[in-house]
Amino acid sequence: MMHYSNWLIDVKNRASLRNECKTPPNTDWINRGNIADMQNNNPHLNEKASELTAATHLLKKGYKIIKKIGEGTFSEVLKTQSLKDGKFYACKTMKQTINSLEQANNLREVQAMKRLSPHANIVQLHELIFDKETGRVSLICELMEMNIYEFIQGRKTPLPEHTVKHYMYQLCKSLEHMHSCGIFHRDVKPENILIKQNILKLGDFGSCRSVYSKPPHTEYISTRWYRAPECLLTDGYYSLKMDIWSAGCVFFEIMSLNPLFPGTNELDQIAKIHDILGTPDQSLLQKFKQSRAMHFNFPPKKGTGISRLIPKCPAPALSLLYQMLAYDSDERITAETALRHTYFREIRMAEKKAESLHRVSGTMDVIGSCVTQNSVDHICRPARVGKQLRGRHTRQTPLMSHNMKHVADTLIRRNIPHYPAELPKLNVVVPGPQISFPVSTMPTFTVTHRGTLPTITSKKCQSQLAKPRDDSHHAAFKTYYMPPLDRKHGGC
């Protein structure tokens, strides 16, 4: 068995080789991925030519470039304005060239955004633009104000507790939606978490992967500071629980305004995790060793703990944080369970109360509109029809029950989430349109009945040539009959 120090030397050597072709560690996401430009003989000229090409390409599609928001290793983000509606969007242009539109639609990021939308906490894809001449792909997405890193950068005082709680609840909702749709992000970090006022949305799905894909996965994935232990200690044997670890690191950073494990390389990253959480026991190490060719051992170390770093952290928040940062991924909390944690109890109660009020108000609005419509219809009926229906409200009962059933169906359909997947068609009987007439006009009104009840006419207005009614029908409605009122001037 090789000693722990030899294994760490090997890890460090492999990390050095990777860094030669990968982005150097940098906390500023805008400056990441500039090695390709530095290797070019004339980077400034190449950058200007690239911007000119992108501007011409987007202008043809009806978008005007406002400014450059940021740049990464594989893409650059521009703020654009639509020439059609004047709205602002974020345009993410890939540096990788694509051969066809079909290949562009099959990109993992595009497929993920289409599957996950629409969701309140997922950045929505507005349009995909493909340029055949240059092979460039641009994703037109909704524009947010800033990311979490920009939000807390340079801040001197901690954020209010309710703000942290609100943002973390939305982040857990986005992860729960992703994981339930069979996708895990693999690069959750403050730079990829966007906010706009009080709304938080998860973006940048270029590294996402299906939860059903079999390991080993790519080892060098996610930003180092937010990389889970199973990503560091195995040869790519990790799953969706790595997103929860990354979210826990973000949770700590939002509360303390400082990163939790700021390792300078993979060797230092493991050391910083052990300094705080302590070294794992032998049973857990055995699980890691089964998925790595090289064996390793860690000297026993008791961690300092997270509570010492954030002494003013509330107990429920600290409890959730420890569950999200469980060293063993099998013991790590899921996004769905995190949403039911005591820490989010107030938000859940407020959501339920808002949903109840919305449901009640929606029902009352529909019922009120039905009552108003019936009142208008009653006013617009001619005098003869009004006399025929006067006092026989039982005839309207089937219609009212049908209307209430339609209202309930409408409210149920409102609460069903919309997914881009094609759903089977339902055989729904849609009631005929209700035609409303203005009060000022008196059009000819025709009464149609869905049931089998015969038309009942008033005795006084019945024609002498009409056939006598059946005694059985007459007996059935005898209880509800009201004789017409005698008027001084007569008339029907």
Is pLDDT at 485 greater than 90 in this prediction? no
Confidence class of residue 293 from pLDDT cuts 50, 70 and 90?
A: low
The whole-number pLDDT of residue 321 equals 98
Q: Mean pLDDT, to the nearest integer, of 34-62?
A: 61
Dihedral Cα 110, 113, 115, 121, nearest 10 deg? 180
Structural contact between residues 137 and 93, judged by C-beta atoms closer than 8 angstroms: yes
Burial (CB count within 10 angstroms: exposed 0-12, middle 13-18, buried 19+), residue 414: exposed
Residue 148 has phi, psi (to 5 degrees) of -60, -35
pTM comes to 0.66
Work out whether strand 137-142 and strand 146-147 pair parallel, antiparallel, or are unpaired.
unpaired
Q: Mean pLDDT, to the nearest integer, of 459-474?
A: 49
The whole-number pLDDT of residue 287 equals 80
Domain boundaries, the chain: 145-356
Burial (CB count within 10 angstroms: exposed 0-12, middle 13-18, buried 19+), residue 309: middle
Is pLDDT at 246 greater than 90 in this prediction? yes
Is pLDDT at 402 greater than 50 in this prediction? no
Q: Mean pLDDT, to the nearest integer, of 374-396?
A: 43
- pLDDT tens-place string over residues 410-435: 444 444 444 444 434 434 444 455 54
The widest CA-to-CA distance across the chain, in whole angstroms, is 115
Our answer to whether residue 470 is catalytic in this structure is no
Confidence class of residue 54 from pLDDT cuts 50, 70 and 90?
A: low
Identify residue 157 by its one-letter amino acid code: T
Is pLDDT at 455 greater than 70 in this prediction? no
Burial (CB count within 10 angstroms: exposed 0-12, middle 13-18, buried 19+), residue 337: middle
Is pLDDT at 393 greater than 60 in this prediction? no
Dihedral sign for Cα atoms in the order 186, 189, 192, 195: positive
Structural contact between residues 179 and 240, judged by C-beta atoms closer than 8 angstroms: yes
Choosing from 131, 187, 204, 243, the catalytic residue is: 187
Q: Shortest CA distance to 110 belongs to which of 21, 18, 183?
A: 183
DSSP state of 460: T
Q: Shortest CA distance to 191 belongs to which of 228, 226, 219, 143?
A: 226
Q: Mean pLDDT, to the nearest integer, of 94-121?
A: 93
The whole-number pLDDT of residue 488 equals 54
Beta-sheet strand order (sheet of 199-202):
146-147, 193-196, 199-202
Average pLDDT, the chain: 75
Higher pLDDT, 441 or 304: 304
Containing 210, the helix (H) or strand (E) segment is: strand 209-210
Neighbour tally for 64: CB within 10 Å: 14
Q: Which two tokens stand for residue 486?
A: 């005698």
The whole-number pLDDT of residue 218 equals 76
Confidence class of residue 45 from pLDDT cuts 50, 70 and 90?
A: low
Please tell me the distance from the alpha carbon of residue 132 to that of residue 148, in angstroms, as a whole number. Answer: 35
- The total number of residues written for the chain in this structure: 492
Structural contact between residues 147 and 190, judged by C-beta atoms closer than 8 angstroms: yes
Q: What is the CATH number of domain 145-356?
A: 1.10.510.10
Give the gyration radius of the chain's Cα atoms: 33
Q: Which two tokens stand for residue 66?
A: 């406002």
Structural contact between residues 374 and 463, judged by C-beta atoms closer than 8 angstroms: no
Q: Shortest CA distance to 107 belongs to which of 60, 139, 70?
A: 139
Confidence class of residue 90 from pLDDT cuts 50, 70 and 90?
A: very high
**Alpha carbon distances (Å) from 35 to 28, 30, 31:** 14, 13, 10
DSSP state of 26: -
Please tell me the distance from the alpha carbon of residue 214 to that of residue 220, in angstroms, as a whole number. Answer: 17
The whole-number pLDDT of residue 386 equals 42
Structural contact between residues 219 and 269, judged by C-beta atoms closer than 8 angstroms: no
Q: Which two tokens stand for residue 275?
A: 């300094």
The answer to whether 272 is a known ligand-binding residue is no
